[in-house]
Amino acid sequence: MLSRDADSIVEAARQRLRLWDITDEQIRKIEETGKPVRTLTVYSPVNGYVVQKMAILGMRVMPGEKLFDIADLSSVWIISDVYENEMQLVREGQSAVISLSYFPGREFSSKIDYIYPALSGDTRTAKVRFTVPNPGGLLKPQMFTNVEIKIELGKKLAIPRTR
């Protein structure tokens, strides 16, 4: 009876460590040494780059506390501002050409995948989002871009200003 209780306590401790994303290898090391562990390596559940670090050496961590922001940069969002008076021309799925001043001659193609529902009161613009593949990690968070949205206006009569 006592050994069965001890086994269930040990299994409950293992399960608790697994819920904290402690690896089975780390749990085995704890069992082999038989000693309490003051610190553990916590592995990220996702691959990516650390874009913000809140954790510091020796810091005590509470449940739900954010330690790092990790971003997967294999594809990036480009958020563009579109003026209020041009919004009636913009629709999800429209094609765009995206260029950056630091990559002259290099263009990226994308389509509008989301139009944010709110308008900025200060700039009178709406946000429009594009998703762009980022092989090689050329595009970085917070880079500035130029976005040209392809808008079909139909056929129009045009008269040149000069002869």
In this model, does residue 4 exceed pLDDT 80?
no
Domain that holds residue 36: 1-43
Comparing 30 with 4, the larger pLDDT belongs to 30
Shared domain check, 140 and 93: yes
Domain CATH for 115:
2.40.30.170
Say how far apart CA 16 and CA 154 lie, in whole Å. Answer: 63
Say how far apart CA 74 and CA 133 lie, in whole Å. Answer: 6
In this prediction, residue 42 carries a pLDDT of 77
* Domain tally, the chain: 3
> If pLDDT is split at 50, 70 and 90, which confidence band does 83 have?
very high
In this prediction, residue 91 carries a pLDDT of 93
Residue 63: Cβ within 10 Å count: 5
Shared domain check, 143 and 93: yes
Q: Of 108, 149, 107, 154, which Cα lies nearest the Cα of 126?
A: 149
Model confidence pTM above 0.85: no
Is residue 50 within 8 A of residue 73, CB to CB? The reply is no
Shared domain check, 48 and 92: no
Highest mean pLDDT pick, 2-11, 58-67, 77-86, 134-143: 77-86
Q: What is the pLDDT of residues 84-140, one digit of tens each?
A: 999 999 999 999 999 998 888 889 999 999 999 999 989 999 999 999 998 888 888
Q: What is the Cα 50 distance to its own chain's centre?
A: 11
Shared domain check, 48 and 38: no
Confirm whether 157 is domain-assigned.
no
